[in-house]
C-alpha cells in the first residue's frame, strides 16, 4: 500500500506569528522569559507536550489562540520577548572575522533541550553547549549530526529495580527541526555509497540562536527498510550499524553541507565518530583540484581539529578489517592508495596486520590540532596515543587540552539568574565573554542567595516526589502506597545528588560500601541527610545495570525509605532540577578515567558544592574554598583497595566537614560558612568553566590558526600544500640516511649556576639540506629513573660540512641546580608544517 503524505501546520493568528519562529529556534531553551510565554499560552498543554514549544503550538485549541491574540497584556509580553530575540540575532558578535570562513563541527549527538531528544549524556550536552556558545560569540560555525528516529532509549525500572529500555518514536514534524529545501521547494538530499548500496539521506536544520545545526535522516522512501534504520537509534545496533552511522556522519555530513550551500574550510571532529570526514575532504579535494593524496592530505591536515573525550578503551571505536574491507575497499581508486597504506591511517602500528582500524587514530593522523578535554585528560591522552609518534617523548605528543565548560544561561535556573542579572548588571547577559563580571558575586547578600537556593531545593523535592509517583503508578502501586511518595525527601535536609551514566568506573554504589555507617548518617534527626540518584546504564552494560539495581534495593529498605531515591529516565529537565536544587554534587570516578565531566560544573555554577575524586575538571577546579576532594589524586593498581580507601575518605568528609558545615547556623538561621563556599563556587566555576572561556580558547588556539592555514595552503593553486607534501615525501625517503654521529660538549662533571655549556654534534642528513631539518639540543633536569623531565629545546645551528656531514652547535646556560642531562635530535623542518612532530620522523643521538 502506498501512503501519500502532507504536513499540517497550526493556524496561528498573525498577531502571534513570532511564537512559531521562536518555537523553532533553540534560543528559547536558554531564555526563560520566552518559555514563560508558552506556559502562559496554556500551562496544561505545555505540560502535555513535555515542554516542547513546537509540538505545543499544534495542540493549543483555536479558541485559545483567538483569545490570546486579543489579550493586550500577552501581546505586550510577546513584543518585548520577540524584540529581545531580534536584538540577540542582530547584535555585534564577539567574533570579528568573515563569515566566508566557515567551521564545521561534527558530533554524534547533541543535547540542547529536552524537546530534541538526540543525545545520551555528557558528550551530547557538551556539543549542545558548544553550539549555543558559538551562537553567543557569533562564530561562523555550523553543526553536523544525525537525526535519530528514536534517539537514545527511555529508561524505566521493573519491579525488581532492573533497568529496562523503551524506544519511543520522535515526530520531527512536531519538534524544533525544519526540513531543508532547495530553490524548487524539494527536500535537500545527498547519497553515500555503503558497500555498493546508494544510501539516500535528507537534511534537516535546527536553528540555535544565530547558528545552525544540520542533521541527516535516512528514514525515507528511497531507502530499503534495512537502510532506513541507519538513523534509528543513537549508539544502538551492532558494529556494522555503527560503521554505517559513522560513514553517514562523516562522509554524508560533508556532502550535506555542500548541498545546502556551505563549503567549510575548517572541520572540528568532536570524538572519533566523525573521522571519516577527513577521507571525504581529501577525496573531494583530489577530484576538484587535481591533487595527489599526499598533497590533498597535507592541505587539509592543517585545517582539521580533533577533540578526544575518553580514556576508556571501549570509548574509542575500532572496526575489524572485514568491515573496513566491505565498506572502504572501493575507496582505494579515488584516493590512489594501496590497501595496506589505507589501513595504516587507522593503526597505531602501521605494519601490524592484526591491528583493527581505530577511528581515534584516523582522526589524530588527519588532524594537525588535537586536544583532550581537561588538563589531566590531555596528559592521559598523550600517554595513551604515544605509539603513533614512536621515539617522541610523551610530553611532546601533539595532543593539547582545552578544559570543557558549560553554557551558563542554559544551566542556571531563572530564579538564580534573576538575582545574578540584578546584581551583575546588564553586561552579564549582553557580554558573556566578560568573565570578570563573576567577581561581583559578593554584591549578593547571604540571605538572598540562601533563600534563593532553598527555593531551588524545594522545587527539586517537589519534582522528585512527582517523578516517584509516576513510577509507582506505572508499577501498579495502590493509592495508599502512593502516599509514601509525598513523604519522600525533605525540603530542608542536606541533599546530595549523584547523577551520571552508570558505567562501572564511575562507582555509583561507592556510598553503599559501609551500609551501617551510611544508615547512621541517614537516620540522624539533628543533621538529616538525603541522597538522590539518577542515570542510565548502556543497554548492553550488565554490570552498570546491576549497580542501579543495588541502589534501588537499598533505597527500598524500611530503615532507608524516603531518604534515598532513584529517579528514572535522567534527562536534561531532571538535570536542571538536580544541578540547581541539590546541596552537594557527588562524583566518584576511578582516576584518571573521567576525561572531564561537566555536571559538576553546572552544579558548582549554581552554588551546589562539589565533593569529588580529583579527576577530570575537578583536578583543576578544586579549592578548599568551594568544595571537597576525595583523596589527593592518588591512582591505584588495586581497585578494591582504592574503593575501600576512598569510600572511607568520603564518609569522613561527610561526618567531619560537610554535615557540620551545613548545619552550623547563626542566630539568623543562616549557614554562613556554607554560603561563603557557595559564593566561592559560583565565582570560580562561573569565571573559569563557562563555555565562553572554552570556546574562546578553541578559537584562539585552533580555529583562527586553522582558518589562516586554509587561506595560505589553498592559495595559488595549492602550491604551498604541494610544496609541503613534496618535502615530506623527500624527508621520508631520506630519513633512513639521517644520523647523529658524534656529540661533544664543554660540560664538566660539576658546573655552577650561570656557567655556559657548548654542545656540538656531527649530523648526516642524506640528500636533505640543512634548512630542511631541525637539529635540537633536548635538555633538562634528570629524574631518578634517568629520564629528562621538564625539558627545554634549543635549536642548533649548522656550520661547515665535512664528508657529507654537518657540524651543529649551540650554547646554553646552566640555570637551575641538580643533575641535568641532554641529547641531540633531528626533526623535519618546513614553514608549511603546523608542528614538526610527524609520525616516524625523529632521529635521536
Task: List, for residues 443-472, the tens digit of each pLDDT value.
Answer: 999 999 999 999 999 999 999 999 999 998
SS3 assignment, position 767: coil
SS3 823: strand
CA 90 vs CA 76, 133, 178: distances in Å: 21, 16, 22
pLDDT band at 171 (very low <50, low <70, confident <90, very high): confident
Q: Any long-range contacts for 442-451 (C-beta under 8 Å, 24+ apart)?
A: 442/679, 444/419, 444/420, 444/679, 446/670, 446/672, 446/675, 447/668, 447/670, 448/419, 449/419, 449/607, 449/675, 449/678, 449/679, 450/670, 450/671, 450/675
Residue 840, SS3 per DSSP: coil
* Sheet hosting strand 756-765, strand order edge to edge: 738-745, 756-765, 805-813, 797-802
Task: Give the pLDDT confidence score for residue 44 in this predicted structure.
Answer: 94
**Among 798, 817, 822, residue whose Cα is nearest residue 755:** 817
Confidence of residue 4 (pLDDT cuts 50, 70, 90): low
d(CA 331, CA 349): 22
pLDDT of residue 133: 98
DSSP per-residue string spanning 49-83: TTS-HHHHHTTS-HHHHHHHTT-HHHHHHHHHHHH
Smallest Cα–Cα separation from 215: which of 175, 186, 257?
Answer: 257
> pLDDT digits over 260-290, tens only?
999 999 999 999 999 999 999 999 999 999 9
Least confident range from 483-487, 621-625, 726-730: namely 483-487
Mean pLDDT, rounded, of the chain: 94
Q: Render pLDDT for 16-34 as a digit per residue (tens, 0 to 9).
A: 999 999 999 999 999 999 9
DSSP-derived letter for residue 616 is T
User: Between 350 and 99, where is the model more confident?
Assistant: 350
Residues 6+ apart with CB under 8 A from 563: 489, 493, 522, 523, 528, 529, 530, 531
DSSP 43: H
pLDDT tens readout for residues 661-670: 999 999 999 9
Give percent of the chain above pLDDT 70.
99
pLDDT in tens, 741-791: 999 999 888 888 888 999 999 999 999 999 999 999 999 999 888 888 889
At 5, the pLDDT band (50, 70, 90 cuts) reads: low
Nearest in space to 621 (alpha carbons), one of 687, 698, 696, 699: 687
The reply to whether omega before 816 is within 30° of 0 (cis) is no
Summarize the confidence of residues 89-96 as an average pLDDT: 92
Is residue 646 within 8 A of residue 588, CB to CB? The reply is yes
Residue 69 exposed, middle or buried by CB count within 10 Å (0-12, 13-18, 19+): middle
Inform me whether the pLDDT recorded for 714 exceeds 90.
no
Q: What percent of the chain stands above pLDDT 90?
A: 87
Cell representation of residue 346:
587507522
Instruction: Give residue-wise pLDDT tens across range 499-546.
Output: 999 999 999 999 999 999 999 999 999 999 999 999 999 998 999 999
Residue 436: band (very low, low, confident or very high) from pLDDT cuts 50, 70, 90: very high
Which pLDDT score is estimated for 747? 87
- Is the pLDDT score of 293 beyond 70? yes
pLDDT of residue 101 exceeding 80? no
What is the mean pLDDT of the segment spanning 697-705?
A: 97
Phi and psi angles of residue 93, each rounded to the nearest 5 degrees, phi first: -80, 165
649 pLDDT higher than 90: yes
Residues in the chain: 845
CA atoms within 13 A on the CB side of 658: 28
Which residues are CB-contacts of 296 (< 8 A; sequence separation ≥ 6)?
281, 282, 283, 285, 286, 289, 721
Q: pLDDT by residue (tens digit) across 567-597? A: 999 999 999 999 999 999 999 999 999 999 9
* pLDDT for res 173: 85
Using N-to-C axis directions, what is the helix angle for 293-301 and 719-734, rounded to 10°? 110
Model confidence at 485: pLDDT above 90: no
* Residue 358, pLDDT above cutoff 80: yes
Kindly tell me the sign of the dihedral angle through the C-alpha atoms of 405, 411, 412, 414: positive
Give the rounded distance of the alpha carbon of 818 from its chain centre. 42
Q: What is the pTM of this model?
A: 0.95
Residue 121 C-beta-side C-alpha neighbours within 13 Å: 17
pLDDT interval class at 481 (50, 70, 90)? confident
More confident site: 1 or 431: 431
CB–CB of 735/844 below 8 Å? no
Q: What Rg, from alpha-carbon coordinates, does the chain have?
A: 29
Dihedral through CA 378, CA 382, CA 385, CA 391, nearest 10? 170
Give me the mean pLDDT over the 165-187 stretch.
Answer: 92
Q: What is the pLDDT of residue 99?
A: 55
Average pLDDT (723-736) is 95
Tens digits of per-residue pLDDT, 218-241? 999 999 999 999 999 998 889 999
Specify whether the CB–CB gap between 140 and 102 falls below 8 A.
yes
The predicted pLDDT at position 11 comes to 84
Distance CA 514, CA 5 (A): 60
At residue 360, the pLDDT reads 98
Please report the pLDDT score of residue 6 as a whole number.
55
pLDDT digit string, tens, across residues 668-689:
999 999 999 999 999 999 999 9
pLDDT at 406 over 70: yes
Amino acid at each position: 500500500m502506498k501512503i501519500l503524505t502532507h504536513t499540517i501546520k497550526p493556524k496561528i493568528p498573525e498577531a502571534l506569528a513570532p511564537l512559531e519562529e521562536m518555537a523553532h529556534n533553540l534560543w528559547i531553551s536558554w531564555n526563560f522569559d520566552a518559555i514563560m510565554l508558552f506556559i502562559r499560552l496554556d500551562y496544561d498543554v505545555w505540560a502535555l507536550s513535555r515542554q516542547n514549544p513546537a509540538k505545543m503550538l499544534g495542540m493549543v485549541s483555536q479558541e485559545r489562540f483567538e483569545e490570546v491574540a486579543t489579550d493586550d497584556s500577552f501581546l505586550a509580553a510577546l513584543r518585548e520577548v520577540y524584540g529581545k530575540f531580534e536584538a540577540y540575532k542582530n547584535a555585534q558578535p564577539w567574533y570579528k572575522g568573515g563569515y566566508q570562513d566557515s567551521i564545521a563541527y561534527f558530533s554524534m549527538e547533541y543535547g540542547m533541550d529536552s524537546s530534541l531528544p538526540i543525545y545520551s549524556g555528557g558528550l551530547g550536552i557538551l556539543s549542545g553547549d558548544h553550539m549555543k556558545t558559538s551562537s553567543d560569540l557569533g562564530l561562523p560555525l555550523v553543526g553536523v549530526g544525525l537525526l535519530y528516529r528514536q534517539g537514545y532509549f527511555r529508561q524505566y525500572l521493573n519491579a525488581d529495580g532492573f533497568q529496562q529500555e523503551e524506544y519511543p518514536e520522535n515526530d520531527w514534524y512536531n519538534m524544533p527541526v525544519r526540513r531543508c529545501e532547495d530553490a524548487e521547494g524539494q527536500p535537500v538530499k545527498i547519497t553515500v555509497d555503503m558497500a555498493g548500496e546508494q544510501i539516500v539521506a535528507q537534511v534537516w536544520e535546527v536553528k540555535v540562536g544565530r547558528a545552525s545545526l544540520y542533521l541527516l535522516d535516512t528514514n525515507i522512501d528511497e531507502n530499503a527498510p534495512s537502510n532506513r534504520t541507519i538513523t534509528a537509534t543513537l549508539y544502538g545496533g551492532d558494529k556494522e550499524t555503527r560503521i554505517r552511522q559513522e560513514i553517514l556522519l562523516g562522509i554524508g555530513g560533508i556532502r550535506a553541507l555542500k548541498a545546502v550551500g556551505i563549503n567549510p574550510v575548517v572541520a572540528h571532529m568532536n570524538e572519533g565518530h566523525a573521522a571519516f570526514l577527513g577521507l571525504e575532504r581529501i577525496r573531494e579535494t583530489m577530484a576538484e583540484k587535481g591533487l595527489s593524496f599526499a598533497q590533498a592530505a597535507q592541505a587539509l591536515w592543517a585545517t582539521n581539529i580533533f577533540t578526544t573525550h575518553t580514556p576508556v578503551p571501549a570509548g574509542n571505536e575500532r572496526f575489524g578489517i572485514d568491515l573496513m574491507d566491505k565498506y572502504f575497499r572501493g575507496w582505494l581508486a579515488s584516493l590512489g592508495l594501496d590497501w595496506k597504506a589505507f589501513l595504516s591511517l587507522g593503526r597505531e602500528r602501521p605494519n601490524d596486520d592484526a591491528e583493527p582500524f581505530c577511528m581515534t587514530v584516523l582522526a589524530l593522523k588527519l588532524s594537525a590540532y588535537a586536544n583532550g578535554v581537561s588538563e589531566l585528560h590531555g596528559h592521559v591522552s598523550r600517554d595513551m596515543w604515544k605509539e603513533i609518534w614512536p621515539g617522541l617523548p610523551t610530553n611532546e605528543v601533539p595532543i593539547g587540552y582545552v578544559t570543557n565548560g558549560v553554557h551558563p544561561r542554559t544551566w542556571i535556573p531563572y530564579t538564580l539568574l534573576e538575582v545574578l542579572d540584578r546584581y551583575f548588571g546588564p553586561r552579564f547577559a549582553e557580554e558573556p565573554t566578560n568573565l570578570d563580571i563573576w567577581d561581583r558575586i559578593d554584591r549578593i547578600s547571604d540571605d538572598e542567595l540562601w533563600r534563593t537556593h532553598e527555593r531551588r531545593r524545594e522545587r527539586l523535592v517537589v519534582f522528585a516526589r512527582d517523578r516517584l509517583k509516576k513510577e509507582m503508578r506505572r508499577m501498579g502501586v495502590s493509592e495508599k502506597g502512593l502516599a509514601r511518595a509525598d513523604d519522600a525527601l525533605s525540603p530542608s535536609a542536606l541533599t546530595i545528588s549523584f547523577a551520571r551514566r552508570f558505567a562501572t568506573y564511575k562507582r555509583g554504589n561507592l556510598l553503599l560500601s559501609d551500609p551501617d555507617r551510611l544508615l547512621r548518617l541517614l537516620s540522624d534527626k539533628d543533621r538529616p541527610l538525603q541522597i538522590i540518584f539518577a542515570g542510565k546504564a548502556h543497554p548492553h552494560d550488565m554490570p552498570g545495570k546491576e549497580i542501579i539495581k543495588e541502589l534501588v534495593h537499598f533505597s527500598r529498605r524500611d530503615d532507608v525509605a524516603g531518604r534515598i531515591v532513584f529517579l528514572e529516565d535522567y534527562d536534561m529537565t531532571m538535570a536542571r532540577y538536580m544541578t540547581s536544587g541539590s546541596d552537594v554534587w557527588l562524583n566518584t570516578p576511578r582516576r584518571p578515567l573521567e576525561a572531564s565531566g561537566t555536571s559538576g560544573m553546572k552544579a558548582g555554577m549554581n552554588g551546589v558544592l562539589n565533593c569529588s575524586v580529583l579527576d577530570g575538571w575537578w583536578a583543576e577546579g578544586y579549592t578548599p574554598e568551594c568544595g571537597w576532594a576525595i583523596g589527593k589524586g592518588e591512582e591505584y593498581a588495586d581497585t578494591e583497595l582504592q574503593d575501600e580507601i576512598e569510600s572511607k575518605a568520603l564518609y569522613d568528609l561527610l561526618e567531619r566537614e560537610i554535615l557540620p558545615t551545613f548545619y552550623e547556623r547563626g542566630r539568623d538561621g543562616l549557614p554562613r560558612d556554607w554560603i561563603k563556599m557557595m559564593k566561592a563556587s559560583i565565582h570560580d566555576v562561573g569565571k573559569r568553566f563557562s563555555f565562553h572561556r572554552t570556546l574562546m580558547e578553541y578559537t584562539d588556539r585552533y580555529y583562527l590558526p586553522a582558518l589562516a592555514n586554509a587561506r595560505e595552503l589553498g592559495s595559488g593553486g595549492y602550491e604551498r600544500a604541494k610544496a609541503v607534501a613534496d618535502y615530506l615525501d623527500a624527508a621520508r625517503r631520506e630519513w633512513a640516511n639521517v644520523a647523529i654521529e658524534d656529540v661533544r660538549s664543554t660540560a664538566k662533571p660539576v658546573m655552577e649556576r650561570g656557567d655556559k655549556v657548548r654542545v656540538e654534534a656531527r649530523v648526516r642528513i642524506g640528500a636533505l639540506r640543512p634548512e630542511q631539518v631541525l637539529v635540537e639540543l633536548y635538555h633538562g633536569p634528570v629524574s631518578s629513573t634517568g629520564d629528562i623531565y621538564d625539558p627545554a629545546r634549543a635549536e642548533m645551528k649548522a656550520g661547515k660540512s665535512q664528508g657529507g656531514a654537518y657540524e651543529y652547535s649551540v650554547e646554553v646556560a646552566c640555570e637551575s641546580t641538580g643533575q641535568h642531562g641532554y641529547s641531540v635530535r633531528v626533526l623535519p623542518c618546513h614553514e608549511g608544517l603546523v608542528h614538526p612532530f610527524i609520525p616516524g620522523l625523529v632521529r635521536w643521538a
